[in-house]
Amino acid sequence: MNQENTANPVTRPKHPLSSRQRRILEGLTAGPKTREQVDRLGKASNGPEQIRQLRELGFEIHCERYCKINNDGERCYPGIYTLDESSIPRAMEMLYPTLTG
């Protein structure tokens, strides 16, 4: 019996996202998020690491920093993460594969 390897090497795994990445990506599809919001979405204090991992998966995520005065009266520069429009279709495909085909 001759069996051929039918696996396609470019086929993405069905669920390559971790639960944290999934929650964060879903949040980013709804709009920009601060680092604190990303931490809450991911239910951990490592939002920037999760963003890095999502970027490694090919998602274009921008971080715009702005000047703010913190509770101690000092300047700080928090960031706001935004999922680039070009990454939204892929995000939707990975988050909701049954809806996108």
Domain boundaries, the chain: 19-96
Arch. (CATH architecture) of 19-96: Orthogonal Bundle (1.10)
Residues of the chain above pLDDT 90, percent: 77
Under 8 Å CB-to-CB from 84, ≥6 apart: which residues? 59, 60, 61, 62
Mean pLDDT of 55-60: 96
Q: Name which of 25, 46, 23 is nearest 35 in CA terms.
A: 46
* CB-CB contact of 50 with 40 (8 Å): no
Q: Name which of 61, 65, 64 is nearest 77 in CA terms.
A: 65
* pLDDT tens digit sequence for 6-49: 544 444 545 589 999 999 999 999 999 999 999 999 999 999 99
Average pLDDT of the residues of the chain: 87
pTM (2 d.p.) = 0.78
